[in-house]
């Protein structure tokens, strides 16, 4: 049982460390998506330009190492920073990008494409935005502190009654026929 608790604690601390690293990465560099293991990155959709595919507030999961192809939704660097758009074709070695919601087409080199959208989580962008804020980072830190302290407090409370019960059981039994601690003298 003790080994299981230790293993669970190690797993939870690992998850906490990953959440803290992502939170700090988002907080200090909100202009590029933080890379997670495997080349993946989360990105919150900021506007409705990609509707109906992606709505404002959705969390898009990007593959930062995948080669972009026509038809892919991509995160590309443009004049106004990073934006989601779809590759609708190629011309002279450049991608033609346009948002799903319409608008003007722009040209981008493959080096300007940061990542390819793999999937999305509807409405989960608010949670990612919270994690990149200072209160979110503080909450993650407090959660990690709870992971360290809470099990220790729970086990301490659990051990206290056992010690009391053991001390009662180990107490010397009264001797004599009345078992009241009185031994008659004859």
Over its length of 186 residues, how does the chain's per-residue pLDDT go in tens digits? 677 777 877 887 787 777 777 667 666 655 566 676 788 888 888 888 888 888 888 889 899 988 999 999 999 988 888 888 999 999 998 999 998 888 888 999 988 998 999 988 888 787 777 777 788 778 877 877 777 677 667 666 555 555 555 555 555 555 555 555 666 676
Residue 87's pLDDT is what? Answer: 92
In degrees rounded to 5, what are phi and psi of residue 8? -60, -40
The answer to whether 57 touches 50, Cβ cutoff 8 Å, is: no
Task: Please give the DSSP secondary-structure letter assigned to residue 62.
Answer: E
* CA dist., res. 96 & res. 172, Å (int): 89
Cβ-based neighbour number of residue 56 at 10 Å = 14
Question: CA-to-CA distance for 40 and 25, rounded, in angstroms?
Answer: 14
Instruction: Quote the CA–CA distance of 89 and 79 in Å, as a whole number.
Output: 20
Confidence at residue 97, expressed as pLDDT on a 0 to 100 scale: 92
Query: From its phi and psi, is residue 29 left (phi > 0), alpha (psi between -120 and 50) or beta?
Result: beta
Handedness of CA 89, 111, 131, 20 (dihedral sign): positive
Domain spanning 33-123: which CATH class is it, in words?
A: mainly beta
44: left (phi over 0), alpha (psi -120 to 50) or beta: beta
pLDDT confidence of residue 50: 87
Beta pairing partners, 95? 90, 108
- Whether residue 48 has a cis bond before it, omega within 30° of 0: no
Give me the pLDDT at residue 91, please: 92
* pTM, two decimal places: 0.57
| Strand partners for 43 | 60
């Amino acid at each position: 049982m003790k080994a299981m608790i230790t293993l669970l604690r190690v797993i939870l601390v690992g998850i906490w460390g990953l959440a803290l690293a992502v939170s700090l990465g988002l907080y200090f560099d909100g202009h590029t998506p933080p890379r997670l293991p495997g080349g993946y990155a989360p990105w919150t959709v900021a506007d409705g330009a990609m509707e109906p595919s992606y709505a404002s507030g959705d969390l898009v999961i990007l593959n930062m190492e995948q080669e972009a192809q026509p038809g892919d939704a991509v995160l590309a660097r443009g004049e106004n920073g990073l934006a989601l758009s779809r590759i609708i074709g190629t011309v002279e070695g450049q991608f033609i990008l346009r948002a799903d919601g319409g608008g003007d087409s722009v040209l981008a080199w493959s080096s300007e494409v940061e990542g390819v959208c793999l999937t999305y989580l509807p409405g989960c962008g608010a949670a990612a935005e919270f994690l990149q804020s200072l209160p979110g980072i503080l909450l993650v830190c407090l959660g990690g502190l709870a992971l360290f302290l809470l099990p220790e407090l729970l086990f301490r409370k659990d051990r206290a009654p056992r010690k009391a019960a053991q001390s009662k059981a180990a107490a010397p039994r009264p001797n004599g026929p009345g078992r009241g601690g009185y031994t008659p003298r004859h």
